[in-house]
Structure 1
Amino acid sequence: MQPHPATVTLREVRDGDVDELFWHQADAEAAAMADFPSRDRTAFLEHLGRIRADPEVHYRVIEADGVVVGNIGSFYAHGGREVGYWIDRAHWGRGIASRALELLVAEDPIRPLQAGVVPHNVASQRVLAKAGFVPDGIADDGYLLFRLDA
């Protein structure tokens, strides 16, 4: 049986979200899928502090049916405006990332937007395609690049 489609919302990060967000990124299997190393608590808190203090970063918590299930943001990196997201592995496969990206794209009017994804992360490639991102080459590190102009 398929899980029901979640009601997905984005909101500002609150101090009470920090522990949940830390544990999401600490999941070794999720980190391997994203090819993004987990941070220890100190490094995570420092990174999160920088993100939350930077007015150029559009950073949101993702809630599904009122539960914190991840984060998403847009920021300047690699010569352009990038998007990135992280969904708690327990909530993969429910369409949450797709809906969250749709909401973020609607909130952030800056174009173009770009994203990079490792070749083995086919699910993220589908999420980007559903949101209108198109393939835009391969980065020096092997990441597949995607771009949204509209």
Structure 2
Amino acid sequence: MIITTSRLILRPMMAEDLEPLLAMTSDPQVMAFVGDGQTLDRAATALWIENAAAALRASDVGSRAVVLRDSGKVIGWAGIIPTAVQGRVELIYGFSRAYWGRGYASEATAALLEASDAGPIDATIDPNNGPSRRILEKLGFAAVGEEQDEHGLPTLRLRRP
């Protein structure tokens, strides 16, 4: 399923998205609050794109490319993905630094949530990531508590009923 907003298209990732997504996944500032905070190389980014596309072919749960409607430029990713906890899904997103602070993360994630029938959705963020916390709270997420993520790093879990 392709999701559209007034400014964005959220669509399955494609091999042609490698260069713009690699520019993001290899940027230490973009990846600082993603997973274990490490950047990805070309091969890891290509594998992620392939796996994300396969996940969306199988269901509506997975990461999507976030594309500007007016130019077709890939500016980020967003998705609802399964977690290691059975039956739990999580909202994720990341954007090129050139597009931070313009409301794209809020717009993309709101559209994903509106299109989802996943029920309760979690989000985990670094406790120091104030911008993401503000986005999530605007979307109706509330803090559940702090815990350690799969990498042993502190994380704040938020949930939207």
Give the alignment's TM-score, normalised by structure 2: 0.81
Q: Which letter does structure 2 place at the counterpart of 1:51?
A: A
Amino acid aligned to 1:60: R
Distance, in Å, in 2 between the alignment partners of 1:75 and 1:33 is 17
Alpha-carbon shift at residue 33 of structure 1 (Å): 4.4
CA offsets per residue over residues 71-118 of structure 1, 9 Å max, x none?
Answer: 111111131101110110111000100000001101211011001000
> What is the CA-CA distance between 1:19 and the residue it aligns to?
1.3
Of the structure 1 ranges 105-114 and 48-57, higher mean CA displacement relative to structure 2 is found in 48-57
Contiguous gaps of at least 5 residues in structure 1: 1-5
Q: Percent identity?
A: 29
Question: Any gaps of 5 or more consecutive residues in structure 2?
Answer: 1-5
Number of residue pairs the alignment of both structures matches = 144
- Whether the aligned pair in 1 keeps the contact of 2:66 and 2:74 (CA below 8 Å) is yes
Structure-2 change in CA distance of 1:77 and 1:24 (3 Å)? same
- What is the TM-score of this pair, normalised by structure 1? 0.87
Q: Which one-letter code corresponds to 2:78 in the other structure?
A: I
Contact 2:64 2:79 in 1 (8 A): yes
Aligned to 1:70: 76
- Residue pair 2:24, 2:31 contacting (<8 A) in 1 also: no
User: Conserved in 1, the CA contact under 8 Å of 2:14 and 2:50?
Assistant: no
Give RMSD over aligned pairs: 1.7
Q: Which has the higher contact order (CA 8 A, sep 6+)?
A: 1
